[in-house]
């Protein structure tokens, strides 16, 4: 008799993620009858996800079992795979606080979940909870593989492999495959005709090669066509899903660097010192930088989920297209030994030569019954490595702060953030960090605010 895995979803109130990932799972024959454990601290959101996942299971012909938990360790017991997707402190109050207090000091942000002062604060709130998951996994499912979708991805993943090196884990994002689809769209080609090799750090990985198929076994780089399309104004094409978020920042960086970065323009604008500056509305207008994008997006997503859930409640069955997420591909490859290649965030163990050993890098990984097997890239172009290093500095110091309970490293991380340093003085950075740490006191480890 064929066996099926147990998949535990921590943060099942993250309704869009749980819906997309488990829909993908139910449509893989070897996983169709998987047993699902949904866990969240919010019973209302948990029940909403339960309703949707149950209908997705039935629609796919799944005969697996589904259970709901508010107790994390109970949900993890016996799991083969653990998917993690949550936001400590939520949109309100924590994300709102990160934006409002930074804005008070003149520090504008777009997303603030990966780097910068907002990303630092989110890491301080999040890492202790990820460690608790690792502790519970060690007790009740030590052989399970964790698939982590929680931002700030690099800092979170780094902190886990430092403190819990025995936990099998990979950090996952959709920026690599998502950007490839966007570039294909800009050139009016089929993204399935692309092949690429990409490497770097999460949200700042670059396509070292990206080619399109021109005949059987023959490929050519799309970089000349992309540059020509940008210069003649036919790319980037307008974003049909969000008119606030156009792709000019990334194309401008491509023109200067010679390589295309994987993360969106709204993200990338706040990882560098070039685009968001005090008293420079001309830059915001020229590059169409969507300030305060994440809070706006949260409000819209909450409203959209409310409307979607009403539809799902009334539906007899739910049929959804496959998503671009890697989770089901990884689970299937490990469970069946059917090899696949994904892009994952892993520890830099001789993978990228000119980035620091031990930092968190994003590289292609082979996945099969042996687990996640990262690919050695070697050296990447030095100017790309130098740009990444400015972000790695912040990641390293934030991770060190929480690993060693060193409050001073939090300030050092903020001081070295490229965007923050371009806007604020040292005294302003210290005052901003002080105010944020106090405002987030109830969401942070106690040692941070102990005098």
pLDDT in tens, 285-336: 999 999 999 999 999 999 999 999 999 999 999 999 999 999 999 999 999 9
Q: What is the pLDDT of residue 451?
A: 61
Quick check: pTM over 0.95? yes
Q: Mean pLDDT over residues 386-390, rounded?
A: 98
Confidence of residue 2 (pLDDT cuts 50, 70, 90): low
Q: Mean pLDDT over residues 152-178, rounded?
A: 98
**Phi, psi (rounded to 5 degrees) for 144:** -70, 155
Does the pLDDT of residue 37 top 70, yes or no? yes
Q: What is the pLDDT of residue 240?
A: 86
Per-residue pLDDT tens digits for 210-249:
999 999 999 999 999 999 999 999 999 998 889 999 999 9
* Token pair in block for residue 22: 């488990």
Instruction: Tell me whether strands 168-171 and 145-148 are parallel, antiparallel or unpaired.
Output: parallel
What are the angstrom distances between the C-alpha of 120 and each of 3, 59, 396? 42, 41, 11
Q: What is the pLDDT of residue 450?
A: 87
Instruction: Tell me whether strands 360-368 and 371-374 are parallel, antiparallel or unpaired.
Output: antiparallel
Catalytic residue set? 174
Give the residue carrying structure tokens 């969507």: 290
Q: What is the mean pLDDT of the chain?
A: 97
Helix axes 15-26, 293-314, angle to 10 degrees: 50
Per-residue pLDDT tens digits for 99-120:
999 999 999 999 999 999 999 9
Query: What is the helix (H) or strand (E) element at residue 445, kind and residue range?
Result: none
Beta-carbon contacts of 117 under 8 Å, excluding residues fewer than 6 positions away, are: 98, 102, 107, 109, 414, 417, 420, 432, 433, 436
Q: What percent of the chain has pLDDT over 70?
A: 99
Q: How far apart are CA 418 and CA 230, in angstroms?
A: 26
Beta-carbon contacts of 120 under 8 Å, excluding residues fewer than 6 positions away, are: 394, 398, 410, 413, 414, 417
50 is in an annotated binding site: no
* Closest to 57 (Cα-Cα) out of 20, 32, 40: 32
151 is in an annotated binding site: yes
DSSP per residue, 55-93 = HHHHHTT----EEEES-HHHHHTT-SEEEE---TTIIII
Q: Helix, strand, or coil here: 116?
A: helix
Contact 354, 52 (CB under 8 A): no
Confidence of residue 1 (pLDDT cuts 50, 70, 90): very low
Does the pLDDT of residue 344 top 60, yes or no? yes
**Phi, psi (rounded to 5 degrees) for 99:** -75, -45
CA atoms within 13 A on the CB side of 400: 14
**Phi, psi (rounded to 5 degrees) for 145:** -105, 125
* Token pair in block for residue 66: 């589904």
Yes or no: is domain 6-172+315-340 CATH 3.10.180.10? no
What is the chain's length?
451
191 is in an annotated binding site: no
Per-residue pLDDT tens digits for 408-446:
999 999 999 999 999 999 999 999 999 999 999 999 999
Cα dihedral angle (158, 374, 192, 18), rounded to 10 degrees? -40
Q: What is the pLDDT of residue 75?
A: 98
Whole-angstrom Cα Rg for the chain: 22
How many CB atoms sit inside 10 A of residue 422's CB? 15
């Amino acid at each position: 008799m064929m066996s099926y895995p147990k998949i535990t979803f921590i943060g099942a109130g993250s309704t869009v993620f749980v819906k997309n990932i488990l829909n993908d799972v139910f449509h893989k024959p070897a996983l169709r009858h998987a047993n699902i454990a949904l866990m969240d601290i919010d019973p209302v959101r948990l029940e909403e996800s339960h309703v949707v996942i149950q209908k997705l299971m039935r629609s796919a012909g799944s005969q697996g079992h589904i259970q709901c938990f508010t107790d994390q360790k109970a949900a993890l017991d016996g799991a083969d795979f653990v998917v993690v997707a949550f936001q400590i402190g939520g949109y309100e109050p924590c994300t709102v606080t990160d934006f409002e207090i930074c804005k008070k000091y003149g520090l504008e942000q777009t997303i603030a979940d990966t780097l910068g002062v907002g990303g630092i604060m989110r890491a301080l709130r999040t890492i202790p909870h990820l460690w608790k998951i690792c502790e519970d996994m060690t007790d009740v499912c030590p052989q399970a593989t964790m698939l982590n979708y929680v931002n700030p991805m690099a800092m979170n993943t780094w902190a886990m492999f430092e403190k819990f090196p025995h936990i099998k884990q990979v950090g996952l994002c959709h920026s690599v495959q998502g950007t490839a689809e966007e570039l294909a769209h800009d050139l009016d080609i089929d993204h399935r005709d692309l092949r690429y090799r990409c490497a770097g750090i999460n949200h700042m990985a670059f396509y070292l090669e990206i080619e399109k198929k021109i005949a059987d076994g023959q490929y050519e780089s799309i970089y000349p066509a992309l540059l020509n399309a940008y210069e003649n104004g036919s790319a980037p094409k307008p974003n049909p899903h969000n008119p606030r978020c156009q792709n000019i920042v990334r194309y401008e960086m491509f023109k200067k660097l010679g390589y295309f970065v994987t993360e969106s323009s709204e993200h990338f604008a706040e990882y560098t010192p070039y685009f968001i500056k005090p008293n420079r509305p001309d830059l915001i207008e020229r590059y169409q930088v969507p300030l305060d994008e994440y809070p706006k997006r949260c409000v819209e997503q909450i409203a959209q989920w409310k409307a979607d859930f009403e539809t799902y409640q009334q539906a007899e069955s739910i049929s959804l297209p496959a998503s671009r997420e890697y989770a089901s591909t990884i689970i299937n490859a490990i469970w069946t030994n059917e090899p696949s290649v994904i892009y994952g965030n892993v520890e830099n163990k001789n993978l990228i030569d000119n980035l620091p050993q031990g930092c968190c890098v994003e590289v292609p990984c082979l996945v099969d019954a042996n687990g996640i097997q990262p690919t050695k890239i070697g050296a990447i172009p030095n100017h790309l490595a130098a740009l990444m290093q400015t972000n790695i500095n912040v990641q390293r110091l934030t991770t060190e702060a929480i690993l060693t309970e060193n409050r001073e490293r939090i300030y050092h991380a903020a001081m070295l953030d490229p965007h923050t340093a371009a806007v604020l003085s040292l005294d302003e950075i210290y005052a901003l960090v002080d105010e944020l740490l106090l405002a987030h006191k109830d969401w942070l480890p106690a040692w941070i605010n102990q005098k």
